[in-house]
Amino acid sequence: MKMEKRRLGRTGHLSSVVTFGSYSIGKLDQDAADQVIQLSLDHGVNHIDIAPGYAKAMERVAAWMPDLRPKMFLGAKTPMRTRDDAWRNVENIMDRMNVDSFDLFQLHSVIDPDTLDIVTSDGGALQTLIEMKDQGLTQWIGITGHGPSVPRTHLEALRRYDFDTVMFPVNATMYKNSKYRADAEELIKICNKKDVGIQAIKMLARGGWEGVTPDIGTWYDAHREQADIEKALWWQLSQPIHTAPSCGESTLLPIVLDAAERFEILSEERQQEIVDGQNPTRPHPALAIL
């Protein structure tokens, strides 16, 4: 079966409903990373999400760029907050990845009003992205983040600048938090009205690690079993979003890709049943899982 593709808002790109989340390969050697990348390609993934903080992910992907760049939508991010720092970061990313342009470049981890004020101020990092677009270094400009206040922060960001995409958590466990759900649904509604591409992260998050030693590579406790992964992903893809970056644990990717290829939209009743049935393993306040 072929993975569904959805139009990523005004970018017009038909993104596979699962994006290759490169965090998962950051700590792998090249041979292991190559296997993960090839698996994603074999399943029809045509969109990469990457950031400089993902360990060696950029170096692992760089080896593939000469062949993949013409046929893969490349979305990258900068965590820098000022124009000058962001420009240095962009140049470093281009060098690490062996690329001379991006399809999408994003302000990374803009999670609260104070951060938004900095990046959108005169001399802030947004200025770098606008200059990149003017110079042909990126076609589109986006904003990303995760946390309880992110939907409200991104709504305000869209009032200040006409971002082409957003990236934030849309997750069944997090939707048990009524405040987060209301804010997320409002952001999704506004994005679809403005034709802003929606990238939904944290597809498998179910809780935190407090009091236990993590046994997988994600910074949150994730669903592991096929049935639970299928429910979590099918719920996420049943929301009016466009694509979902894969989780940060490479061993779960085969199950995620299989579930994505078999995706069937869920009824509203079934979606609510899945939300109601979520039992967070441990709180994760940074993800609004309480």
Residue 245 forms part of a structural domain: yes
Tell me what the mean pLDDT of segment 134-140 comes to. 99
**pLDDT recorded at residue 156:** 99
The pTM of this model reads: 0.97
Kindly write down the DSSP assignment for every residue of 116-127, as one continuous string. HHHHTSTTBHHH
| CATH code where residue 42 lies | 3.20.20.100
With a cut of 90, say whether residue 290 has pLDDT above it.
no
Residue-level pLDDT at 229 = 98
pLDDT tier at 242, thresholds 50, 70, 90? very high
Asked whether residue 281 carries a pLDDT value surpassing 90, the answer given is: no
Evaluate whether residue 239 is within a structural domain.
yes
Whether 12 is covered by a domain: the verdict is: yes
The 10s digit of each residue's pLDDT in 193-241 is 999 999 999 999 999 999 899 999 999 999 999 999 999 999 999 999 9
285: three-class secondary structure by DSSP: helix
Considering the domain boundaries, does residue 286 fall inside one?
A: no
Read off the pLDDT of each residue in 138-147 and give the average, rounded to a whole number.
Answer: 98
Distance from C-alpha of 124 to C-alpha of 181, rounded to nearest angstrom: 30
pLDDT at 2 over 90: no
The helix-helix angle for 178-194 and 150-160 (nearest 10°) equals 30
H/E/C letters for each residue in 130-197? HHHHHCCCEEEEEEECCCCCHHHHHHHHHHHCCCCEEEEECCCCHHHCHHHHHHHHHHHHHHHHHCCE
Judge whether 285 lies within some domain.
Answer: no
In three-state secondary structure terms, 94 is helix
CA distance 153 to 69: 32
Q: What is the pLDDT of residue 22?
A: 96
Distance separating alpha carbons of residues 240 and 166, to the nearest angstrom: 13
Q: Domain for residue 263, yes or no?
A: yes
Beta-carbon contacts of 227 under 8 Å, excluding residues fewer than 6 positions away, are none
| pLDDT value, residue 203 | 96
d(CA 20, CA 256): 11
Return the pLDDT at 39. Answer: 97
Q: How far apart are CA 281 and CA 210, in angstroms?
A: 10
Domain hosting residue 111, numbered range: 5-278
283 inside domain:
no
- Residue 195 tokens, joined: 């034709």
Residue 141's pLDDT band (cuts 50, 70, 90): very high
Domain total of the chain? 1
Please check whether residue 289 lies inside any domain of the structure. no
